[in-house]
Structure 1
Amino acid sequence: MNADILIVDDQVEITVLLAQVLSHEGYSVRMAHSADEALALIKEQTPNLLILDVMLPEMDGLTLCRKLRTEYKFNRPILFLSALGKTDNIVKGLAAGGDDYISKPFEVKELVARVRAQLRRRKNEVKADLVLRIGEMEIDGKAYEVRTARTTARLTATEYRLIRYMAERPNQVVPYGDLLQAIWSYPKDSGDPDLVRTHIRNIRAKIEHDPDARDYLHTVHGVGYMFRLAPGEVLRVTKP
């Protein structure tokens, strides 16, 4: 069965162009030009991937993304479209729950590559039902949750892959470039480290929001991040 992609953009010419390109690649494509139209289509059938423009009339893309992540428990990939140079929109989009972004104007080949990468990762997540246990923390791939003695945090698919990738490499410095390759499938020496930083910030806000919470994700300035184990802790992988 072909993956179903929903494109949400108020510029009709862009949605038509993307629909033609992605249909040619073998995907099933639906289009919406407002948040309300998108919600109606999502209620009919949950898409495998959402391409979402930041700037929409009435309810903007950021608000729609947050609504989908919180109220609808939508855990499929969301790829944001943002005008070139609108860095604040990109950061806000990722903070709202977006998985990746592409700036307008864009190369069609680049967008297709980003779509393929997101869908491929979803398809290949064969270990998603495993639970990683580190001390009091549990990283649950089936529920997309991180649980500690203090909190239970629901993650997006990308946030889950990111914290899992780091937890499987405890006490190792993982460079930005390695994370961009492993989590977002960017070619070597490409991609924006801010993509990683924003997702790490989102994860921290969910699992380290308590002032007394432990600092699991350690920043190695200018290099990347480390998932730190406390002395005596070990990583265990179990079935839920």
Structure 2
Amino acid sequence: MNTFSCDTTLEARKPSILLVDDSADSLRLLQITLKLKGYNVTVAESGAEALMQITKSPPDLVILDVLMPDMDGYEVTQEIKRNSNIPFIPILLVTGSEKSNVVKGLDAGADEFIRKPVGKDELLARVRALLRLKHSMDEQLLLCQRREDFVTHLTHDLRTPLIAADQCLNLLQRGVFGDTLSAMKESLEHMAQSNQTLLSMVDTLLEVYQYEAGCKTLDFFVVDLWELCQQVVQELMTLAEIKQLTLQAVLAEGIETSAVRIRGDRLELRRLLTNLIGNAIRFTDTGSVKIRLNSTCKGVTIEVEDTGIGMNHAEQLHLFERFRQGKHQRRGNGLGLYLSRQIITAHQGIILVSSITGQGSIFTVYLPGQTACC
């Protein structure tokens, strides 16, 4: 993610424009026209020189001739757009040839296209439009940076007192400060559970934001999904036993454990399984929750099936949206399934749901990757 500062906006200073053309006469004419309007103008006589200047000091706008020796305007445009270290710069391609391909230029990443001879009024109008685009993009980046700082600091500031409260409640429950009255034990337990819920919500909020901001880093290694699934099931078994539910993970018939190994981020896949299985337990009062793992030459399939309350078609349509909760009265923050889909998308997979009200649900996750069956 680019992290260029946008504190100095285009409206507060003279915009800078880089002219790139191998024709000295064309450069001189454009330079005079733009300087008379108060723009800061620099020039480059080749694509290579332009790229060096842009890397060193990115301008607010590049006006680029298409037909140049060694590196044409299309190639320069592609190089600019390909370099993630360069901030957003609008590009205006200029050509004197009828054979120049507008579609090719736009596909390369150019934002506008203009033909020679360039009319003064048309040129200035396009420059103004592209600089407005630049200003808008810079403002959006600045807002994203501020939002990222806000969310990061907010979650940190929230977690600190919640962790302290959690530790204090734990000490009280253990009687470190003296015997706890029987009448207080149930209240302390509810307080501890509520505090854990808040901590989980804060952590989930931060994870969701990192995905949305594009700053989430995943570490891909070979992950044994069968082993991981067994671990998650063991961790959640107590919750299922409290509700007298059957909780089990099974492999599809004829599938070996080696066939459900894929490349992925183990921590995120663990979070995914915990979300899906935990949800199934939460929304199931009687019956069972079953996790089935299968393998094909295209990847691995994970099915989480429950005999819970289910949901209607309208609820299913919006199930994976952020802060979307069903019409049930069960505890949840509306972020778990949204985050799950973010994790699956980051692994190039998909998630589907099939459900009938009162009969349960099946969440099916497809994760691509070469498996043993191939």
| TM-score (ref. length: structure 2) | 0.35
Specify which of 112, 120, 138 is matched with residue 100 of structure 1: 112
Q: Report if the CA contact (8 A) 1:5-1:47 is conserved.
A: yes
User: What do the CA deviations read for 1:61-84 (whole angstroms, capped 9, x no partner)?
Assistant: 111111111135432101101225
How far off is 1:114 after superposition?
0.5
Q: Report if the CA contact (8 A) 1:4-1:27 is conserved.
A: yes
Q: Equivalences for 1:48-63 in 2 at 5 Å? A: 48-63=60-75
Matched, 1:79 2:97: no
Name which of structure 1's ranges 67-76 and 106-115 shifts more when overlaid on structure 2: 67-76
Q: Residues of 1 paired with 2:93 and 2:50: CA distance? A: 14
Q: Residues of 2 paired with 1:235 and 1:69: CA distance? A: 31
Q: Residues of 2 paired with 1:234 and 1:14: CA distance? A: 54
Structure-2 residue corresponding to 1:195: none
The DSSP-based 3-state class of the residue aligned with 1:13 is helix
Pairs aligned (count): 145
Specify which of 2, 12, 15 is matched with residue 27 of structure 2: 15
Q: Sort the Cα spacing of 1:73 and 1:14 in 2 relative to 1 into closer, same or farther, 3 A.
A: same
Q: Sort the Cα spacing of 1:127 and 1:48 in 2 relative to 1 into closer, same or farther, 3 A.
A: closer
Q: Residues of 1 paired with 2:119 and 2:73: CA distance? A: 21
Q: Report if the CA contact (8 A) 1:52-1:80 is conserved.
A: yes
* One-letter amino acid of the structure 2 residue matched with residue 10 of structure 1: D
Q: Report if the CA contact (8 A) 1:34-1:56 is conserved.
A: yes
Q: Residues of 2 paired with 1:56 and 1:25: CA distance? A: 27
Structure number with the higher helix fraction is 2
Q: Sort the Cα spacing of 1:119 and 1:139 in 2 relative to 1 into closer, same or farther, 3 A.
A: farther
Q: Sort the Cα spacing of 1:2 and 1:234 in 2 relative to 1 into closer, same or farther, 3 A.
A: farther
The DSSP-based 3-state class of the residue aligned with 2:70 is coil
Q: Report if the CA contact (8 A) 1:54-1:89 is conserved.
A: no
Specify which of 35, 39, 43 is matched with residue 31 of structure 1: 43
Q: Report if the CA contact (8 A) 1:32-1:38 is conserved.
A: yes
Gaps of 5+ in 1: 132-137, 146-229
User: What do the CA deviations read for 1:145-168 (whole angstroms, capped 9, x no partner)?
Assistant: 9xxxxxxxxxxxxxxxxxxxxxxx
Q: Residues of 1 paired with 2:319 and 2:26: CA distance? A: 51
Q: Residues of 2 paired with 1:68 and 1:29: CA distance? A: 19
* One-letter amino acid of the structure 2 residue matched with residue 59 of structure 1: M
Q: Report if the CA contact (8 A) 1:52-1:81 is conserved.
A: yes
Greater Rg over alpha carbons, structure: 2
| TM-score (ref. length: structure 1) | 0.52
Q: Residues of 1 paired with 2:112 and 2:319: CA distance? A: 33
Q: Residues of 1 paired with 2:81 and 2:136: CA distance? A: 22
How far off is 1:90 after superposition?
1.5
The DSSP-based 3-state class of the residue aligned with 2:123 is helix
Structure-1 residue corresponding to 2:56: 44
* One-letter amino acid of the structure 1 residue matched with residue 20 of structure 2: V
Gaps of 5+ in 2: 1-12, 148-209, 216-315, 324-374
Q: Report if the CA contact (8 A) 2:90-2:133 is conserved.
A: no
Q: CA RMSD in A?
A: 3.1
Q: Report if the CA contact (8 A) 1:50-1:79 is conserved.
A: yes
